[in-house]
Structures are given as structure tokens and as C-alpha cells.
Chains A and B, each alone.
Chain A
Amino acid sequence: MDGTIEFTMGLSDGIAWPWPIAVYLFFAGISGGALAVALFIRFYKQQTTNTPFLKAASLVSFATIALGMLCLVLDLTNPLFFWRILVYYNLNSVMSVGVIALTAYIPLTALMALFALEEEIKQIPLLRPLVPVIDKLKGIRRPCEYAVLALALAVCAYTGFLISALVRFPIINTSVLPALFVASGLSAGAAAAKMLAVGIFKEDLHSQDMKILHGAEWPIMFAEALFLFMIIMSLATGNAGAQSAFEAFHTGTWSMVFWLGVVGLGFGGPLLLNFATGKQFSHSSQAFYLSGLCAVGGMMCLRMFILYAGQNFAI
């Protein structure tokens, strides 16, 4: 029945989840993505040494998840209530399940960083007390790596499940969102770790690891584009609510964020830098950093777009 009775006002005074949550989703995606890619390579190439890429990835992973947690806590109405999430559980809640995953994941990323950065830690006097701890825990490195790989992917996916449970926002409430977040987490995480590996840990731009990454990058990006396309199509051809949300892609500020940020920067940037420039430039370190920054920036725009455009188009 059309026009029976409806109300359009709300009591919450606007957007429930503002930008710190988007930043948190961004950091959690990078953290999980970077570590997952590094561990994939480690298992695939059966590496036993601490490669520069592994070092970079574990450092990125730990730093970003810690920053992400900070965003999450600061976004609570009262950050001092944080302990309540850790004490009370509701297993029906995606957030609660995520908290359980994170309480295992965060210490494990710290442990990964300790293992991977052993040599560096030995050189810093302040951190030297950690060395015996690393030695003690070395025996369980392998199982920890398996566990953290599973958890890293779970964390990436969880950030998607977390928000896709919000039924009133057609852009957010899609089953493809977790997959999209895993794919974009992997690509941005790999890009971030790559830049750090070359910049700080003196990885060669054309090393073995870099070659594998380069080979994996494009398929992941393609999957990401595909998932995005799936979301857009399901909105454009969906019911009235979905179609009204489809507007987010062609009107208003958020459509700019989508086309310039997600598509232009995130997809267009790396593609142009790699294929549309001369061979000399596309193999240079400028192109390398630029395209890495594009991937990371594009992912941030994606999280912002999904969260804000999503909440703006409620049904």
C-alpha cells in the first residue's frame, strides 16, 4: 500500500557512525591485508628467513591495528566505557564476535612483529629485554603464523560483516561487502607493506617477493572492481529503496568521492602509472611509491564512501 503511514524523522541526530569508524575500517583492512599477503608469500615460497617484506608487513599490521583500535575507542560516547565490550558478550552480535577475534589477533600481530624484527630489536638497546622473550616463543612461531593468517582474513571480512548487518542502508546491507573489504584490504595492505619494505627495509624494487606481489596485484584489483560492480548493479536493478540509494553514485559530494577517489585514484592511478607511462618511468621508484599511495588512498575513499554515502541513503 502506498502512502499509508510513515515517519521520516529520527531521534539519533544524524550519522550514527562518523569518520573515525571509516578510518578504523581502513586501518583494520590494511592490517589484515598486509599480514595475510606476507604470510601467503611466506608459505608459498617456503621462506624461513625474515624477508624485508615480512618485516614491513608485520610492522604495518601491528601499527595499523593499534591505531584502528584507538579510533574505535575514541569514537565511543565515553571512551572510559571500553572495558564493557571486553567484559560483556553477545554472541549474536557481529561486533562481539569481532572483538573476540581481535583480542586474539592483536597480541598475535605483536608477536609476528617481534619474530620478524628480531635482528632490528637486537640492535636497539631499549628493546633488548625482548630478545629472551622472542627466543622462548620461537618454538610456536609456525602455529602462530597459521593462526594469524586465518585471523587476518577474518578481521578483513569482519569489518565488512560488521556494517553489512545494518539493514536500513542499501549500499551497506549487501552480502558482497565482506568480500569487497577482503579484496581491497589485501590490495591496500600489500601496497602499504611494499612501500615500507622498499623504503625502510631496503628491499630491492625488482626482487622475487616484489615480482610475486606484482603478479597478484592485478587479479586482486580485478576482483575488487568486480565486487564493486556487483554492488552497483544490484542497487541499480533492485527495489525502490535500492534504486534510490543508487543515486549516491551519480549525485552529490559522495559520488565525487566515489568516482575521483575510489575509481580514479584507487583503480585508475595504479593502472595509468604502470601501463600508460613509458617503461622507464613505470619501473622507477617514483612510480612505485605513487601507485602504492594511490592504492592506499583509494581504499580509504572506498571506506569513507561506503560508510557515509551508505548512511545518507537510508530506507
Chain B
Amino acid sequence: MSENLERRRFLKFLGAGSLIVAPLGCSSVDEDKNSNQPHYIMVFDQNKCVGCGDCKVACNQANNLPEGKSRVMMEQQSGGVEGQVCPQCGKTSCECERKYVRVSCQQCQNAPCVTVCPTGAAHRDAKTGIVTMDKAKCAGCKYCIAACPYDARYINKETDVADNCDFCLESKLAKGELPACVQSCRYDALIFGDANDPTSYVNKLLAVKDSVRIKSHFGTQPSLRYIPIVKQGV
């Protein structure tokens, strides 16, 4: 009982906190260089994601990507969708819980794509530390695509150059907004903020929630955290 109460209060606090802190976290993008370098991270909460795909659509629109393309995908890991086979049990109709996972650039702090790019087109933004693209420099050699351990880069067929999720650095963050996918998620499955800011919502969230990183054994230090569905009894 009391645990429930605690939880309620905590959630309320988080909710209020995010309203105040999240925009602050973003405005620090425009701050001068003397301040501590921000470290933007994104948290994907698998418990909340229903696989609606709104984030993909929003990404496509925000970044003017070619029809049907976005820098993020949802991988369905289990659970039947009508007319499709469940990836977990292999049946067309099943009782498996629906599980999705976000596939996108992990914003590595030690990013192989940046290291291998011969032209410096794939680079780290000086102000925000976000891995992004200088489209005018990319030669389309696809070295970065082969080097990315997450297979999170692709060639944009319209511009003929490589592309990756950069947290909407130019399209949204520059205007002080949250990344398009985060804005569009109706289920609050995506949380974005500065991990170097002790007062940020992501910081508080990660302090209380267990989260994991994907393929952390590559040593790339990804900035995306995942809160996996953990079964508690049946």
C-alpha cells in the first residue's frame, strides 16, 4: 500500500519535473561553450511502447526524409499483430506480450562512424556533442555504415549521402524543441535530456529505473538507454 503511494507521489513529481526541466535541458544547447559540455541521452521505455510507429512518421516529417524513410525503426520482438507471425512463438495468433524495441543511432560517445569517416562528414557537433552529418562533405563511401556496430546508418536516396539520427539537432533542438519522435510519442515511451545536468528528468529517471544499453560490449558508449520489460510473476 505504502509502496503504491510512494510511487504515485514519485510519478507526480517526475511529471511536474519534466515540464520544467525538459525545456531547460534543451535551452542549454544555445548556451556558451564555457558551461559543461552537455551529454544528451534518450531513454526508450519498452514497457510503454505499443509499436504505433508515430515516432517514425514524425521523424520523417521533421527531417524532410524521402517518402517512407526515417532514421528510426521499431523492431517487433514478440506479440501477434493481425495477419503477421509472432517473432517469438511463430504463431499467427498468440498470447505473447507485445514487445517493441527502438532501432536508431545510439549516439555513441566513442563513435566508430566518426573515427572511420575519411572526410569528417560524420562528426560530433562541437557544441552539443551529438553525432551528426555534414552533408556537404560526405563522399558516399559507406565506410561509416559498415563500421557502425548498430547498423544504424543508411544512405539517403535523395541526397546520396549517409545519414543518422542526430536527435533532430538541426530540425528541432536548434529551435529549443524536443526531438520529433519524443514529441510525437503519445505513450511517453521516449524521454530525452541532458545526462550531465543533475536536475534533468532523465537523470532522475535513470537513478530509479534499471536501464540497459545495447551491445555495450563494443565499447562505443552508446547514449541510448533502454528500460526493458521485466516480467514480475505471472
Partner of A11, one of B71, B118, B228: B71
Residues of B within 8 A of A75 (CB): 141-142
Is B22 part of the contact surface with A, judged by Cβ < 8 Å? Answer: no
Nearest CB to that of A1 among chain B residues? B212
User: Between A and B, how many residue pairs show CB distances below 8 Å?
Assistant: 120
Would you call B139 and A76 a contact (CB within 8 A)? Answer: yes
Q: Evaluate contact between A7 and B121: CB separation under 8 angstroms.
A: no
A82 to B228, CA, bound (A): 43
B176 in the interface, Cβ–Cβ < 8 Å?
A: no
- B154 close to A11 (CB less than 8 A): yes
Residues of B within 8 A of A12 (CB): 145, 151, 153-155
Interface string of A59-99 (1 = CB under 8 A from B): 00000000000000001111001101101111011111001
- Given A10-B152, A84-B119 in contact, is the A95-B138 Cβ separation under 8 Å? no
Query: What does DSSP make chain B's interface, helix, strand, loop or mixed?
Result: loop
Interface residue? A176 (CB, 8 A) = no
* Nearest chain A CB to B146 CB, angstrom units: 4
A166 and B146 in contact, given A5-B214, A84-B137 (Cβ under 8 angstroms): yes
Which size bracket describes the interface of B in this complex? 35 or more
Instruction: Name the B residues within 8 Å of A89 (CB-CB).
Output: 118-120
29 pairs from A and B in contact (CB 8 Å cutoff): A5-B226, A6-B101, A6-B215, A7-B214, A8-B75, A9-B103, A10-B103, A11-B71, A11-B104, A11-B152, A12-B145, A12-B151, A16-B142, A16-B145, A77-B142, A77-B161, A81-B139, A81-B140, A85-B141, A87-B119, A90-B118, A90-B119, A95-B118, A163-B146, A166-B146, A167-B218, A168-B147, A168-B148, A168-B151
Using a CB–CB distance below 8 Å, which chain B residues touch chain A? 46, 71, 73, 75, 101-104, 112, 115-121, 137-143, 145-155, 160-161, 212, 214-215, 218, 226, 228
